[in-house]
Amino acid sequence: MTIATLTIDPGAAALTPNEHVAAINSATAAIDRADSVDPAARPIQAGEITVAELASAAAKGNLDALADVDRGYVQTRPVAASGDFKVIALKRTAVGLVEVEYDDVPV
């Protein structure tokens, strides 16, 4: 495995406000209570994480202990056998471009 890099130009054509609204509206049906309500504002349900697991330091420590390609705090959805790649990191360069590091082996 090698970490590869690509650069995205944020000056490229963006979605219009109407396209943003349409995307949000189409996703609304998939939002459930656990995804849309802050856990601190409601009781923790069976199968959810505990209060101790919500502590940011504990969560960060657990994530930082993982290998780069196993970390999950940049959520990607590569499809197996599709040629998609796992994203490892994102950053904004000094010239304003977005740089993406990814595993060069497709899933």
Q: How confident is the model at residue 98 (pLDDT cuts 50, 70, 90)?
A: confident
Domain that residue 37 falls in: 3-103
Q: Which of 1-5, 15-19, 22-26, 60-64 has the lowest mean pLDDT?
A: 1-5
pLDDT at residue 107 above 70? yes
**Structure-token pair, residue 25:** 């509206």
Domain count, the chain: 1
**Contact between 7 and 92 (Cβ < 8 Å):** no
Q: How confident is the model at residue 59 (pLDDT cuts 50, 70, 90)?
A: confident
**Contact between 94 and 71 (Cβ < 8 Å):** no
